[in-house]
């Protein structure tokens, strides 16, 4: 590994520092300026040569950022739930919304669409039943009275419940509250620990499950998800999906191949309707709590799906609370299966979504690389693993940084302190994504771009950084080289239009 540590720019910097500290001379302002320039050129986007129009846009952006920093309440230093309104009304956010952001490479299938759509659209369909657990709700669509569910009240037809309810807005708001972590209350008090926030986070998935897995809702939800990202100027998605069993009114069920095929059909239909959208690829996921035998079966199925659906299947990943689950190494037999059999199955592991330094879980980040992961999901712990960090840089294994997720799930409070600040200061391969926007009360990618650009990007990041992040999202995607080239030229056209319309 020692050889990996010899980066050219590190060597240049060492020489500069030697020169700086070698003699006890008075600091030379020219040398100081050169060092500042050198550092600036090393950051994400530091090598981007800006056109005149981009420079004018940059001046506007930096002025907006300066105004943002001078505000009494600085949104990136606050919990997102408290900051959302401030961000939404900031000029910089409005500009970021218009910006073509490339692809969103770290998203989950059940949290693409805002929960208001789920309540106002999905739950108002006929035959929707609801039951109440001690903490949340469950749903099912059925042509007959459904069979009782363990630990849930008896099923009530939602239509009848609404007919009997005086204030249906209150009922709808209370249903919505079970589908998201977002709260108007003090988030620190509602979610005091990681254990609490993760347990409620997983409850929101359970609550949405019966709605989203109903075949007609599943199709509309997926299409609506693409629409919402498209509206936020995102042109491509890579979606982590559990590919659940989908059901119909009469109780008929459909397997993973059907679900994958359906996603593929809807993605193609969406692209046909929106030619400047590139499409969707799916990363099939399993929970990091299942036993080793089940994992073996799931990996076998993943290899088969990858073979049968090469256009839409991107690969495989493990999901769930990392600190509360099994380490990657626990599944080493199953995860070695593709290589052992000579069958391709790219991995996109969540790894290093933790603050537990030196534990077995903390080891995931190095193990993910050992298993040849194509990207690292979150990689929040990467800066504490110098060998893994160098490996990820050398082989272009990009880190999928999801700032709002990391804050809401309690890895960092003030987003100026996010470790991606260090990664971006040296142009480490990173992309920005939103993980579970609907559950965090966000949408698309713009809020996360705001936190990255204004928060840990600080006054240093500029329009070149934004451009680089968008380009990275295509470069580090699972698209083929030809598809990447096509996507990049599509993106460039949209980018040039965005710059010309906003540089004044």
Residues carrying an active site annotation: 353, 378
For residue 320, give both structure tokens.
Answer: 């769930």
Q: How many whole angstroms separate alpha carbon 484 and alpha carbon 476?
A: 9
Stretch that binds Zn ion, among 215-223, 308-316, 328-336, 435-443 (CB under 5 A): 435-443
Smaller CB separation from Zn ion, 362 or 435 = 435
Centre a 10 Å sphere on the Cβ of residue 335 and count the other Cβ atoms it contains: 26
Give the residue from 430, 434, 411 showing the smallest Cα distance to 420: 430
Q: How far is the CB of 238 from Zn ion (least distance, A)?
A: 11
For residue 409, give both structure tokens.
Answer: 């799930």
By rule CB under 5 A, what count of residues binds Zn ion? 1
Smaller CB separation from Zn ion, 439 or 499 = 439
For residue 253, give both structure tokens.
Answer: 């069920």
Q: How far is the CB of 358 from Zn ion (least distance, A)?
A: 23
Q: How far is the CB of 405 from Zn ion (least distance, A)?
A: 7
Q: How far is CA 197 from the centre of its chain?
A: 18
Q: How far is the CB of 33 from Zn ion (least distance, A)?
A: 42
Handedness of CA 185, 188, 189, 192 (dihedral sign): positive
Contact 327, 321 (CB under 8 A): no
Q: How many whole angstroms separate alpha carbon 54 and alpha carbon 464?
A: 8
- Interface with Zn ion, residue 435, by CB under 5 A: yes
Geometric angle at alpha carbon 124, from 123 and 126, rounded to 5°: 100
On the CB side of 244, how many CA atoms lie within 13 Å of its CA? 18
Smaller CB separation from Zn ion, 285 or 461 = 285
The phi, psi pair for 376, rounded to 5°, reads -115, 120
C-alpha torsion angle, residues 404, 407, 413, 415 (rounded to 10) = -30
Question: In sequence order, which residues have a C-beta less than 8 Å from that of residue 299 and are 6 or more positions away?
Answer: 316, 334, 335, 337, 338, 345
Residue nearest to Zn ion (CB): 435
Question: In sequence order, which residues have a C-beta less than 8 Å from that of residue 196 and are 6 or more positions away?
Answer: none
Stretch that binds Zn ion, among 27-35, 55-63, 433-441, 491-499 (CB under 5 A): 433-441
Stretch that binds Zn ion, among 266-274, 367-375, 428-436, 494-502 (CB under 5 A): 428-436
The phi, psi pair for 282, rounded to 5°, reads -110, 135
For residue 60, give both structure tokens.
Answer: 């506007």
Q: How far is the CB of 113 from Zn ion (least distance, A)?
A: 16
Smaller CB separation from Zn ion, 105 or 479 = 105
- Interface with Zn ion, residue 238, by CB under 5 A: no
For residue 152, give both structure tokens.
Answer: 């849930």
User: 274: helix, coil or strand?
Assistant: coil
Q: How far is the CB of 285 from Zn ion (least distance, A)?
A: 9
Question: In sequence order, which residues have a C-beta less than 8 Å from that of residue 227 and are 6 or more positions away?
Answer: 270
Smaller CB separation from Zn ion, 109 or 435 = 435
Q: How far is the CB of 447 from Zn ion (least distance, A)?
A: 16
Stretch that binds Zn ion, among 72-80, 89-97, 196-204, 434-442 (CB under 5 A): 434-442
Q: How far is the CB of 222 from Zn ion (least distance, A)?
A: 18
Smaller CB separation from Zn ion, 54 or 435 = 435
Smaller CB separation from Zn ion, 337 or 438 = 438
Smaller CB separation from Zn ion, 443 or 495 = 443
- Interface with Zn ion, residue 322, by CB under 5 A: no
Q: How many whole angstroms separate alpha carbon 216 and alpha carbon 127?
A: 12
Geometric angle at alpha carbon 267, from 266 and 270, rounded to 5°: 85
Stretch that binds Zn ion, among 151-159, 265-273, 419-427, 432-440 (CB under 5 A): 432-440
The phi, psi pair for 106, rounded to 5°, reads -135, 95
**Site map (CB under 5 A) of Zn ion, residues 468-497, x = contact:** ------------------------------
Give the residue from 362, 364, 449, 442 showing the smallest Cα distance to 403: 449
- The terminus-to-terminus CA distance of the chain in angstroms comes to 49
Stretch that binds Zn ion, among 119-127, 185-193, 200-208, 430-438 (CB under 5 A): 430-438
Q: How far is the CB of 9 from Zn ion (least distance, A)?
A: 31
Q: How many whole angstroms separate alpha carbon 452 and alpha carbon 405?
A: 12
Smaller CB separation from Zn ion, 100 or 437 = 437
Looking at the DSSP assignment, which residues form a beta bridge with residue 279? Answer: 236
Q: Which parts of this chain interact with Zn ion (CB under 5 A)?
A: 435
């Amino acid at each position: 590994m020692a050889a990996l540590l010899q980066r050219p720019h590190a060597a240049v910097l060492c020489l500069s520092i030697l020169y700086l500290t070698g003699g006890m001379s008075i600091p030379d302002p020219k040398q100081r300026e050169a060092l500042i320039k050198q550092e600036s050129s090393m950051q994400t986007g530091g090598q981007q040569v800006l056109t005149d129009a981009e420079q004018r846009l940059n001046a506007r952006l930096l002025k907006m950022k300066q105004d943002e920093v001078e505000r009494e309440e600085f949104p990136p230093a606050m919990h997102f739930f408290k900051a959302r309104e401030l961000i939404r009304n900031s000029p910089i956010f409005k500009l970021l919304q218009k910006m073509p952001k490339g692809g969103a490479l770290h998203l989950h299938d059940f949290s693409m669409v805002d929960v208001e759509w789920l309540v106002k659209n999905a739950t108002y369909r006929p035959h929707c039943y609801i039951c109440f657990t001690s903490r949340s709700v469950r749903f099912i669509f059925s042509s007959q009275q459904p069979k009782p569910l363990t630990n849930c009240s008896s099923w009530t037809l939602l239509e009848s419940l609404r007919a009997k309810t005086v204030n249906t807005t209150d009922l709808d708001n209370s249903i919505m509250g079970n589908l998201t972590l977002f709260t108007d209350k003090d988030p620190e008090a509602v979610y005091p620990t990681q254990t609490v926030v993760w347990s409620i986070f997983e409850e929101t998935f359970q609550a949405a499950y019966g709605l989203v897995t109903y075949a007609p809702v599943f199709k509309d939800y997926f299409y609506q998800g693409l629409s919402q990202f498209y509206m936020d100027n995102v042109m491509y998605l890579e979606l982590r999906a559990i590919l659940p069993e989908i059901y119909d009114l009469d109780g008929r069920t459909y397997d993973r191949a059907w679900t994958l095929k359906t996603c593929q059909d809807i993605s193609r239909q969406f692209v046909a309707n929106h030619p400047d959208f590139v499409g969707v690829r799916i990363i099939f996921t399993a929970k990091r709590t299942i036993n080793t035998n089940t994992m073996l079966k799931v990996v076998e199925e993943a290899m088969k799906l990858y073979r049968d659906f090469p256009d839409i299947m991107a690969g495989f990943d493990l999901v769930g609370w990392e600190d509360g689950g099994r380490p990657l190494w626990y599944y080493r037999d199953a995860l070695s299966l593709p290589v052992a059999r000579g069958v391709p199955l790219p991995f996109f592991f969540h790894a290093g979504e933790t603050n537990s330094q030196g534990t077995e879980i903390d080891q995931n980040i190095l193990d993910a690389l050992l298993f040849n992961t194509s990207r690292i999901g979150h990689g929040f712990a990467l800066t504490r693993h110098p060998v893994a960090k160098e490996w990820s840089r050398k082989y272009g294994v990009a880190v999928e940084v999801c700032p709002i997720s990391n804050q809401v799930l309690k890895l960092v409070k003030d987003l100026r302190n996010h470790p991606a600040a260090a990664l971006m200061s040296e142009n480490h391969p990173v992309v920005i994504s939103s993980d579970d926007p609907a559950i965090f009360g966000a949408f698309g990618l713009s809020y996360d771009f705001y936190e990255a650009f204004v928060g840990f990007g600080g006054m240093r990041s500029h329009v070149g950084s934004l451009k680089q992040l968008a380009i990275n999202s295509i470069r580090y995607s699972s698209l083929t080289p030809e598809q990447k080239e096509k996507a990049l030229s599509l993106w460039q056209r949209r980018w040039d239009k965005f710059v010309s319309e906003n540089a004044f």
